[in-house]
Amino acid sequence: MPSPAVTGLLLSLIAVLLVAALNAWLGRDGRLQRSRGEPEARIASDCIDFEPVDVERARDGSGCLMHGRTGDVAVAVARGDGWVTRRYRALSPQQVSVRDAVLELDTGDFTLPRITLTCGDAERAALWATRLTGAPARLARTGG
């Protein structure tokens, strides 16, 4: 007869496998399902006086960028089960880089030091980099 520790370990393993099987049976891949307009709604609630004129949603739904009427850019990024929002008037060109369609912001913010969003294409990423800095986009070097 196995020891109580081995029996407990086996029962725990069986329980974890059952939960994983139930998750697969229900058709969920373990990622939080988010509605399409969630980041925009969060920016609207956090930045009351912000009037968006253009929106860029990340391809994977992990965030969005909104260009305001005054030139500010609001950003919403998924973190855990919620959204983190920031509003930028201007970042330095060293804080923003573009690689293909990927826009990277090195914010210097302790709670959100790096933001990475994949835009629709490289031109849109460069446009958002220009909006964030007021200067042409700094292209990140690719391998080689």
- The pLDDT tens digits for 58-114 are 998 889 999 999 999 999 999 888 899 999 998 999 999 999 999 999 998 898 999
Cβ atoms of 130 and 136 closer than 8 Å: yes
Domain assignment present for 140: no
**In terms of domains, do 50 and 109 share one?**
yes
Task: Note the pTM of the prediction, 2 decimals.
Answer: 0.71
Are residues 21 and 84 both part of a single domain? no
Torsion of CA 96, 131, 65, 53, to 10 degrees: 180
CA pair distance 31, 40, nearest whole angstrom:
20
- Are 90 and 51 part of one and the same domain? yes
